[in-house]
Amino acid sequence: MERQLDVLIIGSGPAGLSAAVYAKRAGLSALVLEREYRGTGQIAESDQVDNYLGLPKMNGYDLGEAFLNHAQELEIRFQEGTAYDYEKTEDGWSVHVEDGQTIHAKTVIYCAGAAHRRLGVDGEEEFVGKGVSYCAVCDGAFYKGKDTAVIGGGDTALGDALYLADLCDKVYLIHRRDRFRGAASTVRQLQEKENVEILTEAVPAKIVGEQTVTALELKDGRSIPVHGAFVAVGMQPQTEPLKGVVDLDDAGYIIADETGITSAPGFFAAGDVRTKALRQVVTAVSDGANAAVSALEYIQRQQD
């Protein structure tokens, strides 16, 4: 039987890869489990990352590849698969993978990140990739010269509308409340754009189309003719399988500070999945390093 791993890292986004580098360099036996082939997390969706220290104007996909290559150069073990269940055992954790395998490890560093929240209206799932998008920077270019709608009221929605305004013929910014949560300065910039129409107190009811999206219907009966609907209504932490395993806050984030220590012994959290103020690459990378050190200290304490 294979020796029990010191640490199983879930997710190979910036947090997971950083945790892997620190764990390996600390002499721990580590395995990174990632559901996507060569996945590097959300950052791969970013057209340009301008705020990661030392690497300005870096394409997000290339930044993720650089992280992954670094980990691979250290001969860290990777496995493709989706973890879905976590069981505390006497000497660690048993993690069940969708392919039927069970992985045993003394500690788990959970770095599964976050995903875009769905709007939850009819037509949304049907038209994902056929007019419905969750990433303006990734898909905006497909809508050059066309009409689009951005749905949401935070900074992401405002930024998406601004980005699309430079590409699209017309952009509708649709928000269910009368005031935006995002920066007032961006709202002003949008108000000055001739091709941006801001609709407040407007609640989407349905996304309609044939092969692709043709319109967005609102609850008040209005129909907005668009080719693309960009949904920017927040992020959902990937913590569904952790209910009853570790303490989560009301929004579903794992309650943990920068040490990554959670309510469950030997189970650490790093990156966008944990409670924190700023969810960025730099904080995810920092979390991964801290969680690996916490895992090392935990294993050493168990051996004493």
Ligand X SMILES: Cc1cc2nc3c(=O)[nH]c(=O)nc-3n(C[C@H](O)[C@H](O)[C@H](O)COP(=O)(O)OP(=O)(O)OC[C@H]3O[C@@H](n4cnc5c(N)ncnc54)[C@H](O)[C@@H]3O)c2cc1C
Residues within the interface to ligand X (CB under 6 A): 10-16, 33-36, 39, 41-43, 45-46, 49, 51-52, 82-83, 111-114, 135, 137, 238, 271-272, 279-282, 284
- Going edge to edge, which strands form the sheet with 223-225? 204-209, 213-218, 223-225
H or E stretch at 162: helix 155-165
Is-catalytic flag, 138?
Answer: yes
Amino acid letter for position 280: Q
Which residues, in sequence order, are CB contacts of 104 under 8 Å at separation 6+?
Answer: 4, 5, 89, 92, 93, 94, 95
Nearer to ligand X, 64 or 209 (CB): 64
Roughly how many angstroms between the first and final C-alpha of the chain, as a whole number?
25
Nearer to ligand X, 111 or 213 (CB): 111
Q: Where are the beta strands (DSSP E) in the chain?
A: 5-10, 30-34, 77-80, 83-89, 92-97, 102-110, 114-116, 132-133, 147-151, 170-174, 196-199, 204-209, 213-218, 223-225, 228-231, 235-237, 267-269
Min CB(172)–ligand X separation in Å: 21
Min CB(105)–ligand X separation in Å: 14
H or E stretch at 288: helix 281-303
Q: Which of 47, 62, 85, 135 is catalytic?
A: 135
Nearer to ligand X, 7 or 202 (CB): 7
Min CB(139)–ligand X separation in Å: 10
Q: Which of 6, 62, 91, 139 is catalytic?
A: 139
Min CB(256)–ligand X separation in Å: 12
Nearer to ligand X, 213 or 254 (CB): 254
Is-catalytic flag, 168?
Answer: no
Task: Provide the annotated active-site residues.
Answer: 135, 138-139
